[in-house]
Amino acid sequence: MNKIARFILFDILKNKIVILYTVLLFIISWSVLGLDNNYTKATLSLLNVVLLVVPLVSIIFSTIYVYNSSQFIELLLSQPVPRGKVWFNLFLGLATALILAFLIGCGIPILLYSSIATGISLLITGVFLSVIFTSLAMLAAIFSRDRAKGIGISIFIWMFFAIIYDGILLVLMFQFTDYPIEGIMATLAAVNPIGLSRIFVLLQLDVAAMLGQAGAIFRQVFGSGGGMVISIIILGIWTLVPFLWSLIMFNKKDL
């Protein structure tokens, strides 16, 4: 890891918000998994927490951190350091810190109380969501110089993927229920990283009743094994595309 990324990583790990986030995840994970003998039910409960809390904290914290680091970024750019290297190391430091916070907070209780296959799928989901929403946060931050507007964009992105998107999907399903739209709905289900993460874990749990209509269509089209592979690939694309977009904007931006 580059010196810039290491400095950012250690700076974030000392942040009180990140420490509180780690402790909160640990308490919730231990409470849900350690006090419920039904591991499937406990994993589903923890999954709902991960799908809401991890993206929200990742995108809000990362957006604020990028704005607070504006003078540090300008100082680095005054040195003979390529812009791309500065932006990548900022992303690497942020993403690594949030991944470590998630793995410490949720990983220890999951490895102690959950089954290996289910626990690993839940950890993979949390890691991907941490990185994806860090990437989206950097895109939102570079999109606008105004801090309030950037944070507002970040909150809207989280609300859209966590709440609004599922509502839109349900409306489309009911409106076009008489048409053969399975392929289209499976594609639309894959567009939402939070919804796709839910489907990925539920496919591992093989809980058909909890998949929902979009998830059931996704499983019908791709199957359990194929659906999990496709989910990983799409989550990887979600990780790269927003960051590369933000990198292009950062290289062109007049600081």
Encode pLDDT of 145-157 as tens digits.
Answer: 888 899 999 999 9
Residue 208 has pLDDT above 60, yes or no: no
> pLDDT tier at 205 (50, 70, 90 boundaries)?
low
Query: Which pair of structure tokens corresponds to residue 101?
Result: 């916070």
31: exposed, middle or buried (Cβ count in 10 Å: 0-12, 13-18, 19+) = middle
Question: What does the DSSP 8-state code read for residue 71?
Answer: H
Contact between residue 110 and residue 119 where contact means Cβ atoms under 8 Å apart: yes
111-139 per-residue burial string, b: 16 or more CB within 10 A, e: under 16: eebbeeebbebbbbbbbbbbbbbbbbbbb
CA distance 151 to 149: 6
Type of residue at 21: Y
Residue 6, classified by CB atoms within 10 Å of its CB into exposed (0-12), middle (13-18) or buried (19+), is middle
pLDDT given at position 244: 94
pLDDT exceeds 90 at position 195: no
Residues 171-188: tens digit of each pLDDT: 877 777 666 666 677 677
Provide the residue type at 198 as one letter.
Answer: R
Domain range list for the chain: 3-252
For residue 203, pLDDT over 90 is answered with: no
Q: What is the pLDDT at residue 233?
A: 87
Q: What is the mean pLDDT of residues 114-120?
A: 74
Indicate if the pLDDT at residue 193 is higher than 70.
Answer: yes
* pLDDT for 252: 83
pLDDT value of position 94: 93
Cα separation, 140 vs 250, in Å, equals 11
Using pLDDT thresholds of 50, 70 and 90, give the confidence band for residue 200.
confident
Spatial separation of the C-alpha atoms in residues 180 and 172, rounded to whole Å: 12
Cβ atoms 51, 132 nearer than 8 A: no
Q: In this predicted structure, what is the pLDDT of residue 240? A: 93
> Is a pLDDT exceeding 90 seen at residue 210?
no
For residue 214 the two structure tokens come to: 């979009």
What does pTM read for this prediction? 0.88
Average per-residue pLDDT in the chain?
83
Q: Sign of the CA dihedral 73, 79, 84, 86?
A: negative
pLDDT of residue 226: 62
Lowest-confidence pick of 50-54, 68-72, 113-117, 165-169: 113-117
pLDDT value of residue 22? 93
Q: What percent of the chain has pLDDT over 70?
A: 84
Radius of gyration of the chain (CA): 19
- Name the pLDDT band for 218 (thresholds 50, 70, 90): low
- Report how far residue 37's alpha carbon sits from residue 50's, in angstroms, rounded to the nearest whole number: 20
pLDDT-derived band at 245, boundaries 50, 70, 90? very high
Residue for token pair 């907070």: 105
Provide mean pLDDT across the span 83-89: 90
Predicted pLDDT at 174: 75
One-letter amino acid of 101: A
Sign of CA dihedral 11, 12, 17, 22: negative
Helix locations, 103-223, DSSP H: 108-113, 116-143, 147-159, 165-175, 182-191, 193-205, 212-222
